[in-house]
Chain A
Amino acid sequence: MDFNLSDDHRMLKDMVSRFVREQCDFDSRLKLLKADKGHDEAVWAQMAELGLVAAVLPERVGGLGGSGLDIMVVAEELGRGIVVEPFLATAVLGAGILAEEGVAGRGAELLDEVIAGGHKLALAHYETGARYNAARVDAKIEGGKLSGAKTMVLNGGDADSLIVSAKDGDKLVLALVASDAEGVSMRAFKTHDGFGAAEVSFADVAVGADDVVLAGAAAEEALGRAIARAVLALCAESLGAMENARDATLEYLRTRTQFGVPIGKFQVLQHRMVDVCLEIEQARSIVLLAASKLDAEDRDKHMSAAKAFMGKTGRMVAEEAVQMHGGIGVTWELELAHVAKRLVMIDHWFGDTDYHLKQFQKLSKAA
């Protein structure tokens, strides 16, 4: 066994880490929160140029990898910097689906542009009232017309095209729809963790054969893989954010003085900081395990294990870090507060702890 990153992965990690430090600073993030756009076009263009879309795609389509570890390495660094660029929506979900074997038509042709950063994607899948149930799709395609509504579409407001799940008869279809196509209405907003998202509805939107990315069993499998990749990316982001929170809190324990000593001298805080560090080590293990299982048969069980763990531990790390900062921990101007919000809100994307615990129970009964 070897738990060291390969040279390639180490280089990728260092590159993303440097980029995030230099280009995705906290002040810019605060400004973005007040802007209409969900992210910074220029930053995204640079990220694409650095190959961060390609990094999570297979070589077959011009990518550089696409393994679980590739996703983990990039997402962890983005999570550390609480970056709100559409990596998850465009690269992991969108491009990931277009890179599936068997994708034909417009979708396949679009991929190069997506890799180059010239075209942004979002996955419009979850529906209102379905909670985290990814199996429920009520949107319909009938006679070449798409109708239905999708909720909490990550980066939806900034996407050029949406990949929409819908039923054509009993068959699941993933279709490519331009965001500004006739019949598409979009309500974009920000989320508590700083991302852009949208409620999207479709009223008789024309979907031609060329717009169909995948259909039937192939679409279902591709969607399952896409969601698994997204879960992994979120877990890795959470891990990076935890380490950010840990470092900031450790630094605060060393520098904040009360009663004439650094507050880190108080044993009760020392022990709680130790517990935070122990849980983060556990978190790294569960995410590594998930990354290694992305293409395995028991993939979903491991994704659910990781997501359930990260949801629970993300909350614990966030709450402890805020508490140990005292009053300053609940202020908007402090980066840690936004890291804490990301850690907690990650649980609201792609299934929370309770949902994944239940999934895990089902899947682990079998084996």
Chain B
Amino acid sequence: MRLEYSEEDLAFRAEVRAFLEERLPAHVSARTKAGLALEKEDYLNWQRTLQEKQWVAHAWPKEHGGSGFTPFQKHIFEEECVRAGAPELPPFGLSMLGPVLIAFGSDEQKAHYLPRILDGTDWWCQGYSEPGSGSDLASLKTKAVREGDHYIVNGQKTWTTLGQYADWIFCLVRTSSEGKPQTGISFLLIDLDTPGVEMRPIITIEGGHEVNEVFFDNVKVPAENLVGQENMGWTYAKYLLQHERVGIAGVASAKETLKKLKKLASETDDGEGGKLIDDAHFAERMANVEIDLMAMELTNLRVLAAAQAGGAPGAESSMLKIKGSVIRQELSDLMRRAVGPMALPFMPELDQMGSNEEPIGPDGAHLFAGQYFNRRKYSIYGGSNEIQRNIISKMILGL
């Protein structure tokens, strides 16, 4: 047993760190570290910069332009990116659609879509959930009916993350109502500029705009936009979920938040002449999360090591998702708690790009409560923590 990184891994870390120091724009890093939204162009520019090194698509093999990183390299890369304040590139094209196309897409689809994902020509969003189909995804109703060389799509998708920036959406649609609900689902690529598609914003609890609903009214989609075989979409969607192991726990971002929290606590007055970090109650709260996070980091590395050795993906991603979401939620709770009354102001206008209004209280304090409320999503999206527990009890415990 050896709990240290190899020499190669350490050299790789140094290389990534040097690259980030040289190439990451300061304003992007500052906004990312503050937890503020970025413009589409910021993401795209950063993606292009990274792709100079072929460091963008970690779930793709090298021959398709992917990074070919080992699981440990992916982890190290993520840690360095978070540490430097590099934006997290939206996963929809790079981590979700790309691998599905590589595994199940036609040669034409691969040749057309993959390069456009890599260079940012197409921004993708994910159209799985519907108003009536969240946890019970297989009950989805958005219908695609084959008419000649087209599908006619009718229905509604919702919770579409960053859909406002997207050019395309990959959807699960119903192509058959025979048999089990899972067997009548297909995987369809839809150009959001097609007539009959309408996207509306959903404002989240803290006042931000990151999700949308998408309506399809007799939308004509070329039949060649079907991925793989008709009625096999559920299999492809599940394949995708199983390949989301690395990074799902958010260990790197949790460690960074913990650092930020400690700094904040050491600078914040406790109101009695000392600093918050020396307050016994608060210190205990921080220590508890830190210990959880230390364990989580090693659990994550254990899963990575198993993946590195080629172990088949099991329900580990469910475990990592549950523990990772809870720890990050707890950290967001401590951030708002740390600044005490200064967490109260709600000042969305301050967070706009280019705003020069003075904040109230310490830097970023007015954001912490909003972030805490927003982070409730961690235990809801991508399969709620209840659903993840159901998966573990079925798949691992055999109950």
Contacts and interface: CB of A to CB of B under 8 A. Distances in A.
A330 B136 contact: no
Which of A136, A197, A330, A332 gathers the greatest number of chain B CB atoms within 10 Å? A330
Given A332-B203, A332-B205, A358-B281, A327 B134 contact: yes
Interface residues of A, number: 48
Nearest to A189: B345
Interface string B243-282: 0000000000000000000000000111110000001011
A341 B206 CA distance: 9
Interface string A247-262: 0000000000011100
B196 interface: no
B18 to A, nearest CB: 39
A199 B386 contact: no
A341 B129 CA distance: 26
B246 to A, nearest CB: 25
Interface string B345-375: 1110000000000001100000001101110
A326 interface: yes
Contact of A192 (B158, B204, B343): B343
Interface in B373-397: 373-374, 376-377, 379-381, 384-386, 389
Contact of A333 (B203, B336, B346, B360): B203
Interface string B103-140: 00000000000000000000000000100011110010
A189 B341 contact: no
A137 interface: no
A367 interface: no
B145 interface: no
Interface string A331-367: 1110001001100110111001010011000000000
A189 B360 contact: yes
A129 B271 contact: yes
B307 interface: no
B135 A354 contact: no
A323 B346 contact: no
Interface string A123-154: 00010111111001000000000000001100
Nearest to A350: B341
Category for how many chain B residues contact A: 35 or more
Interface string A182-202: 000001011111100101000
Contact of A341 (B205, B333, B385): B205
B228 to A, nearest CB: 26
Contacts of A136: 271
B313 interface: no
Nearest to B276: A131
Contacts of A319: 376
A323 B376 CA distance: 7
A329 B376 contact: yes
B159 interface: yes
A358 B372 CA distance: 24
A201 to B, nearest CB: 12
A258 B134 contact: yes
A343 to B, nearest CB: 11
Contact of A131 (B340, B370, B374, B389): B340
Interface of B: 129, 133-136, 139, 158-159, 202-207, 268-272, 279, 281-282, 285, 333, 336-337, 340-347, 360-361, 369-370, 372-374, 376-377, 379-381, 384-386, 389
Given A330-B376, A347-B337, 16 more contacts: A132-B271, A152-B342, A190-B347, A191-B344, A191-B345, A191-B346, A266-B386, A315-B333, A327-B134, A327-B159, A327-B377, A329-B376, A329-B380, A330-B373, A340-B373, A341-B369
16 contacts: A128-B361, A131-B268, A131-B341, A192-B370, A193-B344, A197-B344, A268-B386, A268-B389, A269-B386, A326-B380, A331-B203, A332-B207, A344-B373, A345-B343, A349-B341, A354-B337
